[in-house]
Amino acid sequence: MDYILYILIFCIGTLFGSFFTLAVYRIPLGQDITHTRSYCPNCNHKLTFLDMIPILSYTFLGGRCRYCKEKIRVRYILLEILSGVVFVLFAASIKISIFNLNNQILVYFVVGLLYLATLFIIAGIDKERIRIEKPVLLFGFICVTLYMIYLYIVENDASIYRYVIYLMLSCILLLFSIVYLRKKGQDSYTIDVLLLSMLMILFTYETVYIYTVIITLLAISIQLLIQKLSEKKSKIVKRVKIENTKIPIGFYMCVSNIIMLLITNYVIFYR
Protein backbone atom coordinates (compact mmCIF):
# COMPACT_ATOMS: atom_id res chain seq x y z
CA MET A 1 0.00 0.00 0.00
CA ASP A 2 2.89 2.39 0.74
CA TYR A 3 4.08 2.03 -2.86
CA ILE A 4 0.80 3.52 -4.04
CA LEU A 5 1.18 6.35 -1.53
CA TYR A 6 4.69 7.20 -2.70
CA ILE A 7 3.68 7.05 -6.37
CA LEU A 8 0.92 9.52 -5.53
CA ILE A 9 3.41 11.76 -3.72
CA PHE A 10 5.73 11.64 -6.74
CA CYS A 11 2.85 12.67 -9.03
CA ILE A 12 1.99 15.53 -6.68
CA GLY A 13 5.64 16.57 -6.75
CA THR A 14 5.70 16.66 -10.56
CA LEU A 15 2.55 18.80 -10.53
CA PHE A 16 4.29 21.19 -8.16
CA GLY A 17 7.33 21.10 -10.43
CA SER A 18 5.18 22.16 -13.38
CA PHE A 19 3.86 25.04 -11.25
CA PHE A 20 7.42 25.99 -10.23
CA THR A 21 8.43 26.53 -13.87
CA LEU A 22 5.42 28.79 -14.32
CA ALA A 23 6.12 30.72 -11.10
CA VAL A 24 9.83 31.17 -11.87
CA TYR A 25 8.94 32.66 -15.26
CA ARG A 26 5.99 34.85 -14.24
CA ILE A 27 6.75 36.20 -10.76
CA PRO A 28 9.75 38.36 -11.83
CA LEU A 29 7.57 39.76 -14.64
CA GLY A 30 4.78 40.65 -12.20
CA GLN A 31 2.32 38.31 -13.91
CA ASP A 32 -0.49 36.38 -12.21
CA ILE A 33 0.39 32.79 -11.30
CA THR A 34 -2.97 31.48 -10.09
CA HIS A 35 -5.78 32.65 -12.38
CA THR A 36 -4.18 33.21 -15.79
CA ARG A 37 -4.00 30.06 -17.90
CA SER A 38 -0.62 28.72 -18.95
CA TYR A 39 0.59 29.76 -22.40
CA CYS A 40 3.55 29.24 -24.70
CA PRO A 41 6.04 32.09 -24.10
CA ASN A 42 6.95 32.00 -27.80
CA CYS A 43 3.58 32.03 -29.62
CA ASN A 44 1.39 33.01 -26.59
CA HIS A 45 -1.07 30.22 -27.44
CA LYS A 46 -3.01 29.12 -24.35
CA LEU A 47 -2.20 25.55 -23.39
CA THR A 48 -4.79 22.81 -22.92
CA PHE A 49 -4.86 20.11 -20.25
CA LEU A 50 -3.09 17.66 -22.59
CA ASP A 51 -0.24 20.15 -23.03
CA MET A 52 0.43 20.43 -19.30
CA ILE A 53 0.61 16.85 -18.01
CA PRO A 54 3.94 16.71 -16.14
CA ILE A 55 6.67 14.66 -17.87
CA LEU A 56 4.22 12.95 -20.26
CA SER A 57 3.31 16.06 -22.29
CA TYR A 58 6.97 16.97 -22.80
CA THR A 59 7.81 13.41 -23.79
CA PHE A 60 4.95 12.84 -26.25
CA LEU A 61 5.35 16.29 -27.83
CA GLY A 62 9.03 15.66 -28.39
CA GLY A 63 10.05 18.63 -26.27
CA ARG A 64 8.32 21.11 -28.59
CA CYS A 65 5.26 23.36 -28.44
CA ARG A 66 2.26 21.71 -30.08
CA TYR A 67 1.32 24.95 -31.85
CA CYS A 68 4.48 26.81 -32.94
CA LYS A 69 6.88 23.83 -32.76
CA GLU A 70 9.34 25.93 -30.75
CA LYS A 71 11.71 23.79 -28.70
CA ILE A 72 10.84 23.68 -24.99
CA ARG A 73 13.77 24.05 -22.62
CA VAL A 74 14.77 20.72 -21.08
CA ARG A 75 14.86 22.33 -17.64
CA TYR A 76 11.06 22.08 -17.48
CA ILE A 77 10.96 18.29 -17.46
CA LEU A 78 14.08 18.11 -15.27
CA LEU A 79 12.46 20.36 -12.66
CA GLU A 80 9.27 18.27 -12.74
CA ILE A 81 11.23 15.05 -12.19
CA LEU A 82 13.46 16.64 -9.53
CA SER A 83 10.54 18.03 -7.53
CA GLY A 84 8.80 14.66 -7.67
CA VAL A 85 11.94 12.92 -6.40
CA VAL A 86 12.49 15.50 -3.62
CA PHE A 87 8.87 15.16 -2.47
CA VAL A 88 9.27 11.38 -2.28
CA LEU A 89 12.59 11.70 -0.42
CA PHE A 90 11.01 14.12 2.04
CA ALA A 91 8.13 11.70 2.68
CA ALA A 92 10.58 8.83 3.13
CA SER A 93 12.78 10.93 5.42
CA ILE A 94 9.95 11.23 7.96
CA LYS A 95 8.92 7.57 7.50
CA ILE A 96 5.47 8.51 6.31
CA SER A 97 3.23 5.48 5.86
CA ILE A 98 -0.43 4.67 5.52
CA PHE A 99 -0.14 2.80 8.82
CA ASN A 100 1.40 5.61 10.88
CA LEU A 101 -0.53 8.66 9.67
CA ASN A 102 -1.49 11.05 12.47
CA ASN A 103 -2.13 14.78 12.77
CA GLN A 104 1.43 15.59 13.82
CA ILE A 105 3.01 13.78 10.86
CA LEU A 106 0.46 15.08 8.36
CA VAL A 107 0.81 18.72 9.45
CA TYR A 108 4.61 18.56 9.33
CA PHE A 109 4.46 16.84 5.94
CA VAL A 110 2.13 19.45 4.41
CA VAL A 111 4.05 22.42 5.84
CA GLY A 112 7.31 20.77 4.79
CA LEU A 113 6.09 20.50 1.19
CA LEU A 114 5.05 24.16 1.20
CA TYR A 115 8.45 25.07 2.62
CA LEU A 116 10.18 23.05 -0.10
CA ALA A 117 7.98 24.74 -2.72
CA THR A 118 9.11 28.13 -1.40
CA LEU A 119 12.77 27.14 -1.69
CA PHE A 120 12.29 25.71 -5.19
CA ILE A 121 10.77 28.95 -6.48
CA ILE A 122 13.34 31.16 -4.74
CA ALA A 123 16.18 29.03 -6.11
CA GLY A 124 14.78 29.04 -9.65
CA ILE A 125 14.36 32.82 -9.80
CA ASP A 126 17.68 33.54 -8.11
CA LYS A 127 19.55 31.18 -10.45
CA GLU A 128 18.34 33.14 -13.48
CA ARG A 129 18.10 36.70 -12.19
CA ILE A 130 20.25 36.92 -9.02
CA ARG A 131 17.15 38.12 -7.22
CA ILE A 132 15.07 36.89 -4.28
CA GLU A 133 11.41 37.77 -4.59
CA LYS A 134 9.92 39.14 -1.35
CA PRO A 135 6.37 37.85 -2.08
CA VAL A 136 7.76 34.30 -2.20
CA LEU A 137 9.66 34.88 1.05
CA LEU A 138 6.49 36.28 2.62
CA PHE A 139 4.57 33.16 1.61
CA GLY A 140 7.22 31.03 3.29
CA PHE A 141 7.10 33.10 6.48
CA ILE A 142 3.28 32.84 6.61
CA CYS A 143 3.41 29.03 6.27
CA VAL A 144 6.13 28.67 8.91
CA THR A 145 4.42 31.13 11.29
CA LEU A 146 1.13 29.21 11.10
CA TYR A 147 3.07 26.03 11.80
CA MET A 148 4.74 27.62 14.84
CA ILE A 149 1.32 28.68 16.16
CA TYR A 150 0.07 25.12 15.64
CA LEU A 151 3.06 23.70 17.52
CA TYR A 152 2.50 26.07 20.44
CA ILE A 153 -1.26 25.55 20.75
CA VAL A 154 -1.68 21.89 19.79
CA GLU A 155 1.73 20.31 20.47
CA ASN A 156 2.55 22.52 23.48
CA ASP A 157 5.93 23.48 22.06
CA ALA A 158 7.66 25.62 24.70
CA SER A 159 10.10 27.32 22.28
CA ILE A 160 7.60 29.97 21.18
CA TYR A 161 9.91 32.79 22.37
CA ARG A 162 12.62 31.57 20.00
CA TYR A 163 10.20 31.85 17.09
CA VAL A 164 9.01 35.29 18.16
CA ILE A 165 12.57 36.64 18.32
CA TYR A 166 13.40 35.44 14.79
CA LEU A 167 10.09 36.71 13.43
CA MET A 168 10.71 40.13 14.99
CA LEU A 169 14.18 40.26 13.46
CA SER A 170 12.67 39.29 10.11
CA CYS A 171 10.08 42.07 10.36
CA ILE A 172 12.80 44.63 11.16
CA LEU A 173 14.87 43.51 8.16
CA LEU A 174 11.81 43.56 5.90
CA LEU A 175 10.79 47.07 6.99
CA PHE A 176 14.36 48.30 6.60
CA SER A 177 14.49 46.84 3.09
CA ILE A 178 11.13 48.24 1.99
CA VAL A 179 11.19 51.67 3.65
CA TYR A 180 14.84 52.73 3.72
CA LEU A 181 16.66 50.91 0.93
CA ARG A 182 13.93 51.37 -1.66
CA LYS A 183 13.74 55.05 -0.78
CA LYS A 184 17.49 55.30 -1.35
CA GLY A 185 17.23 53.23 -4.52
CA GLN A 186 19.80 50.71 -3.26
CA ASP A 187 20.02 47.00 -3.92
CA SER A 188 18.61 44.90 -1.07
CA TYR A 189 19.94 41.49 -2.15
CA THR A 190 21.98 41.17 1.05
CA ILE A 191 18.89 41.88 3.16
CA ASP A 192 16.93 39.33 1.13
CA VAL A 193 19.61 36.72 1.79
CA LEU A 194 19.37 37.50 5.52
CA LEU A 195 15.57 37.13 5.37
CA LEU A 196 15.99 33.78 3.62
CA SER A 197 18.38 32.80 6.42
CA MET A 198 15.76 33.69 9.04
CA LEU A 199 13.18 31.57 7.24
CA MET A 200 15.57 28.60 7.16
CA ILE A 201 16.45 28.97 10.85
CA LEU A 202 12.76 29.11 11.81
CA PHE A 203 11.86 25.87 10.04
CA THR A 204 15.07 23.84 10.15
CA TYR A 205 16.71 25.26 13.31
CA GLU A 206 20.17 26.72 13.83
CA THR A 207 22.27 23.56 13.47
CA VAL A 208 20.83 22.70 10.06
CA TYR A 209 21.29 26.31 8.98
CA ILE A 210 24.97 26.27 9.97
CA TYR A 211 25.55 23.17 7.83
CA THR A 212 23.58 24.88 5.06
CA VAL A 213 25.98 27.83 5.14
CA ILE A 214 29.01 25.51 5.11
CA ILE A 215 27.75 23.59 2.06
CA THR A 216 26.82 26.88 0.37
CA LEU A 217 30.32 28.29 0.87
CA LEU A 218 31.87 25.07 -0.45
CA ALA A 219 29.63 25.10 -3.52
CA ILE A 220 30.41 28.75 -4.26
CA SER A 221 34.14 28.09 -3.80
CA ILE A 222 33.98 25.19 -6.25
CA GLN A 223 32.10 27.33 -8.78
CA LEU A 224 34.67 30.12 -8.53
CA LEU A 225 37.54 27.62 -8.82
CA ILE A 226 36.03 26.00 -11.93
CA GLN A 227 35.41 29.44 -13.42
CA LYS A 228 39.00 30.46 -12.74
CA LEU A 229 40.41 27.27 -14.26
CA SER A 230 38.22 27.58 -17.34
CA GLU A 231 39.37 31.17 -17.84
CA LYS A 232 43.02 30.14 -17.62
CA LYS A 233 42.44 27.21 -19.97
CA SER A 234 40.90 29.44 -22.61
CA LYS A 235 43.57 32.09 -21.90
CA ILE A 236 41.08 34.84 -21.16
CA VAL A 237 42.99 37.91 -19.99
CA LYS A 238 40.30 40.57 -20.20
CA ARG A 239 38.41 41.61 -17.10
CA VAL A 240 35.09 40.00 -16.48
CA LYS A 241 32.28 42.49 -16.03
CA ILE A 242 30.91 42.83 -12.50
CA GLU A 243 27.39 41.83 -13.48
CA ASN A 244 28.68 38.56 -14.96
CA THR A 245 30.49 37.63 -11.73
CA LYS A 246 27.45 37.85 -9.48
CA ILE A 247 26.80 34.62 -7.60
CA PRO A 248 23.25 33.33 -6.90
CA ILE A 249 23.78 32.91 -3.17
CA GLY A 250 20.07 32.28 -2.58
CA PHE A 251 20.10 29.43 -5.11
CA TYR A 252 22.99 27.65 -3.39
CA MET A 253 21.46 28.23 0.04
CA CYS A 254 18.11 26.74 -1.01
CA VAL A 255 19.70 23.65 -2.57
CA SER A 256 21.97 23.16 0.46
CA ASN A 257 19.10 23.61 2.90
CA ILE A 258 16.93 21.05 1.09
CA ILE A 259 19.78 18.53 1.23
CA MET A 260 20.41 19.18 4.93
CA LEU A 261 16.70 19.04 5.78
CA LEU A 262 16.40 15.59 4.18
CA ILE A 263 19.55 14.31 5.91
CA THR A 264 18.44 15.68 9.29
CA ASN A 265 15.01 14.07 8.98
CA TYR A 266 16.59 10.71 8.16
CA VAL A 267 18.84 10.98 11.22
CA ILE A 268 15.96 11.95 13.53
CA PHE A 269 13.28 9.54 12.27
CA TYR A 270 15.52 6.51 11.64
CA ARG A 271 17.77 6.59 14.66
Residue type, 94: I
pLDDT at residue 264 in the model: 95
Condensed to tens digits (0 to 9), the pLDDT of residues 9-20 reads 999 999 999 899
Q: What is the mean pLDDT of residues 207-231?
A: 91
- Count the Cβ atoms, other than its own, within 10 Å of residue 47: 15
Per-residue pLDDT of 60-100, as tens digits, reads: 888 888 888 888 788 888 999 999 999 999 999 999 988 87
φ and ψ at 183, to 5 degrees? -65, -35
Output 143 or 57, whichever has higher pLDDT: 143
Q: What does the alpha-carbon distance between residue 253 and residue 251 come to, in Å, rounded to a whole number? A: 5
For residue 241, name the pLDDT band (cuts at 50, 70, 90).
very low
Look up the pTM and report it.
Answer: 0.89
Cβ-based burial of 245 (10 A; exposed 0-12, middle 13-18, buried ≥19): exposed
Helix axes 103-129, 134-153, angle to 10 degrees: 160
pLDDT band at 237 (very low <50, low <70, confident <90, very high): very low
Provide the 10 A C-beta neighbour count for residue 183: 8
The pair phi, psi for residue 46, each rounded to 5°, is -70, 135
What is the distance between the alpha carbons of residues 123 and 15, in angstroms, rounded to a whole number?
18
Confidence of residue 32 (pLDDT cuts 50, 70, 90): confident
CA distance 122 to 125: 5
How confident is residue 102, by pLDDT bands cut at 50, 70 and 90? confident
pLDDT at 16: 93
Judged against a pLDDT cut of 50, whether residue 107 lies above it is answered with yes
Contact predicate 18/52, CB 8 Å: yes
φ, ψ dihedrals at 49, nearest 5°: -60, -40
Mean pLDDT, residues 115-134: 94
